[in-house]
Chains A and B, each alone.
Chain A
Amino acid sequence: MLLFIIAMNVLLFGITRDITGQSRLTVPADAGVTTVAGLKQWLGMHYPAFKQLQSLAIAVDNDYASDEDTIGPEQEIALIPPVSGG
């Protein structure tokens, strides 16, 4: 079996951009992140400031995702800090 291991891009908005100083993050392929829960764990390890936020949701392909959802580099993944539109 041929296995392609590709890094995963994560889009950032609002305060998560200010915290990282970037508009996207790259989760390295060898981080072993395959679920939303796994991504949250990885983020907590690398960006402890995210833990101070009121909440931090993950969106996959323009919809809110649950912890058990699987994710991969082919999907559009984004961090959604507390929204404040309206």
Chain B
Amino acid sequence: MLIRLVEHIDLNEAFAYLNSPTAGAVNFFIGTVRNQTKGKEVLHLDFEAYDAMALTQMEKLANIAMHKWPLVGVAVIHATGAKQPGTPVVLIGVSSAHREASFEACRFLIDELKKSVPIWKKEYFEDNSVWVNAHP
């Protein structure tokens, strides 16, 4: 498993890690910075992580996926720091013999990461900044 917090996400490195003669399918989900929220222009985002716990929780999710589906490899990589619109900030990569398992595991991993991995996103607008999801 490739579990990382990085400054810049390297898609080629993740593909090289997941690609294998036994895997007929490699599935990627790449989350990027959107340039607007509710019609308001986002200048940039700032990602902060509780590094030790984030890595522990990412690894835990990858292990659950490995047990749930017949996978060859799993990569869970999240970027931290200031990010401009269009930049990849999260990468989930899954390889498996057949495509069904990698599609399902990929979806599971990004959905669960968003629920439980301690990483926080602050959106910077022209006139203010907001921690996403913090308030009801």
Do these two chains interact?
yes
Q: Which of A76, A78, A81, A85 contacts B47 (CB 8 A)?
A: A85
Number of interface residues of B (CB under 8 A): 30
Known contacts A14-B48, A63-B56; A84 and B90 CB within 8 A of each other = no
**Which one of B14-22, B62-70, B95-103, B112-120 is at the A interface?**
B112-120
Interface size class of A (residues with CB under 8 A): 20 to 34
Check B50–A78 contact: CB distance below 8 A. Answer: yes
**B96-136 near A? 1/0 per residue, CB < 8 Å:** 00000000000000100111111111100000000111111
Closest to A81 in B: B134
Which chain B residues lie closer than 8 Å to A13 at the CB level? 48, 50, 118, 120
| A82 interface residue per 8 A CB criterion | yes
**A11-23 near B? 1/0 per residue, CB < 8 Å:** 1011100100000
Residues of A within 8 A of B (CB): 11, 13-15, 18, 52-54, 59, 62-64, 76, 78, 80-86
